[in-house]
Structure 1
Amino acid sequence: MAVPKRKVSKARRDKRRSSVWKLTAPTLTKCTQCGEYKLPHQVCGNCGYYKGKEIVKKEA
């Protein structure tokens, strides 16, 4: 069975474990029609447009 030759230092161990739990905030883009911030590749919740085409009818 393989056995480590040297003890892994606390700094090296913690460096490896530190990046696992971090979450990133979702990126937001501006809608081309109304300028409202929205998730990319999603229909705008404010105006109902996607890529310049009206997908969902919204009451004004």
Structure 2
Amino acid sequence: MPSYNINDFLILLTTLQIFIYYIIFVNHALMTKGLSKISNFYFMDYLFLFVCLLCHLLFYKFF
């Protein structure tokens, strides 16, 4: 079993919190027609970065 320290969980929780706020912001902007279809590109870009960070936190302990 890989050993996780508290910093990994703090980084993960902070990223999750930012990600949730980002989803709320994008949903609000789409509801109010404040953003165009470009916002979908930004959403996918941020989702990709989030998945990369998550995979890094999960896998760099194994290798």
Is TM (by shorter chain) over 0.5? no
**TM-score, normalised relative to structure 1:** 0.30
Higher radius of gyration, 1 or 2: 1
